[in-house]
Amino acid sequence: MFDVSNDGTYFIYDEQKNEIISTSDFKNFYNFGKFQLSEPYSLNLQRTSLQVYEREADKTLLFSILGQFEREYEGNVQMKNQQVLKLEKYYLTTSKGERKFAINPQGWQHFIWKDNYVYLLAKNKVIIAELEYE
């Protein structure tokens, strides 16, 4: 699995070494996360952070784009500009749990937040929704 920043830097998960490799030219490499990661399920790169979700442990690890471990969150959480979304089994919620949306009676398996779009994945469907801020 991998993600690419706006400046062309690649962040690639190396399953054999159990770490993330960062490179922009495929000549120079920077590795990180070896002792924090167990079994990543997804990488999500935002402007200043890399978010790694581990499904088996049901936790999200937050790294700076320079590879520094910053924080661990319980559950499948994604952050952008001080906003936090968390995927519960049947819906998305805001950081404080005050608003629930994208309700699915069959349940969601995963989600990705890129730019102003949220991609919700269920067993037999994918929903792409544009977020509007109030």
Interval 40-54: pLDDT, tens:
999 999 888 999 999
For the stretch 89-104, pLDDT in tens is: 999 998 776 788 899 9
Residue 108 has pLDDT above 90, yes or no: yes
Q: CA–CA separation, 48 vs 71, rounded Å?
A: 14
CATH for 2-76? 2.40.10
* % of the chain exceeding 90 in pLDDT: 78
Q: Map out the domains of the chain as residue ranges.
A: 2-76, 81-130
Contact in structure between 29 and 10 (CB atoms under 8 Å): no
DSSP assignment of 29-62 equals: -EEE-TTT-SS--EEEE-SSEEEEEETTTTEEEE
Arithmetic mean of pLDDT over the chain: 92
Per-residue pLDDT band for 133 (boundaries 50, 70, 90) equals low
